[in-house]
Chains A and B, each alone.
Chain A
């Protein structure tokens, strides 16, 4: 459904993405792992044009978009299909939870208000925040805010949801509630591309794992393949560092 070809992106003199190809099919839950600076977040941000790639193509279904020269209309169209969940939630501070979720529907997609509110409430129910329709972000905990962020993405009914380290900014005890929501969404068949350090999510929910380092994809495969049988040295080094010590893998 989505195919990324040959993305390059530099910030000043630093080349962050050095030619990345990625293919995502409908229903995939793809987790991207890797050390900081490997380009995972940049890759995500380039896909929905929060950063402009220096080079590369994105093929959405039938449409082939050049990431560097995409027109405003093309960008707008892609953003209709791709939703984003931010590490820092980025909820609209001046709007309630329900308003946050319906904003994109009413204004971005011209859905009638009554219908948007229905969709919004359902999305908030799905993430377990039925009591908080009219709360402002300042009144919510980090975990609740992120769940609103996910509801906001889900309500748009996108083709794919991008998650940029959704739990990294949360206190440990709040991580679980967000991961649970993400698991439920995945079970429903949502196509997800997730950058995360939460290995449990990668192992239990993902159907594909991608390991990035130094701006390129080093290895990819099913969770079983990557976690028990990593082929590349770099992958093994990374896994050794982040997984508990008693985890054994075979070569």
Chain B
């Protein structure tokens, strides 16, 4: 079968794919929400005094950072129902998006715990000491002095992790999620793999534009929030 490349299919793919971007964002958004919450808890465990908590949190982070996304996805997708089976709970009716959000939340939490931990530790102890010396309580010192500064340090890393999340999220199509990647897959299957390249190119452009937009957004955010800090400018 003579395969030939026809650029027209690239343009045709865009209107077909773009409506599904919101699914991609929905999954990413939920994962960020839950992942950040869990990430805070893990970071607190790492920074706290309990050795056991530290070991658990560090072990979790290592385990998740060494696991490829599709492996994690399948572990969650097949594993959780199986565990539930042992307790007599039937999970086969649950929408697969739940499993997807669980997977990427777990993954994002591991990354977030490191981002939060290192941002917190980068703030000089003297800031805290000065704050309590002028009469702030511990809580006030954290809230008004430490957190705002740590937030700025964390921002670029948060942006990177967010980008990674969106890219890794593309793998959700393997268990049938119809986000922008899933739709591309459907289109290609529908055409019996003809002109797959053109569709993938369109898909890659969509992702590219999204990532540039997020990058620019975070650069702007960094500028807005770092009034009191010197921003190192890479060429």
Contacts and interface: CB of A to CB of B under 8 A. Distances in A.
- Direct interface between A and B, CB < 8 A: yes
Interface of A: 48, 50, 76, 79-80, 83-84, 86, 88, 90-95, 103-104, 107-109, 136-138, 152-153, 156
B229 A76 contact: no
Nearest to B144: A107
B70 interface: no
B127 A108 contact: no
B227 A91 contact: no
Interface size class of B (residues with CB under 8 A): 20 to 34
Given A94-B149, A103-B144, A109-B135, A138 B130 contact: no
Q: Is the interface of B mostly helix, strand, loop or mixed?
A: helix
B148 A94 contact: yes
B127 A84 contact: no
Given A86-B129, A90-B129, A95-B228, A156 B134 contact: yes
A90 B230 contact: no
Contact of A50 (B124, B129, B229): B129
B134 A90 contact: no
Contacts of A137: 228
B132 A79 contact: yes
B189 to A, nearest CB: 53
B137 A76 contact: yes
Given A79-B135, A104-B136, A90 B227 contact: no
B136 A93 contact: no
A94 B227 contact: yes
A94 B228 contact: yes
B135 A94 contact: no
Contacts of A152: 130, 134
A250 B33 CA distance: 74
A92 B145 contact: yes
Given A92-B127, A94-B149, A108 B136 contact: yes
A79 B138 CA distance: 13
Given A103-B134, A103-B144, 13 more contacts: A48-B133, A86-B133, A90-B126, A90-B127, A92-B131, A92-B145, A92-B228, A93-B228, A94-B152, A95-B228, A107-B135, A109-B135, A138-B228
B127 A93 contact: yes
A84 B129 CA distance: 10
A108 B229 CA distance: 24
A108 B140 CA distance: 9
A76 B126 contact: no
Given A88-B126, A136-B228, A138-B230, A83 B134 contact: yes
A149 to B, nearest CB: 8
B116 to A, nearest CB: 17
Contact of B134 (A93, A108, A138): A108
A79 to B, nearest CB: 5
A94 B145 contact: yes
Contacts of A104: 133-136
Nearest to A79: B135
A83 B149 CA distance: 23
B143 to A, nearest CB: 9
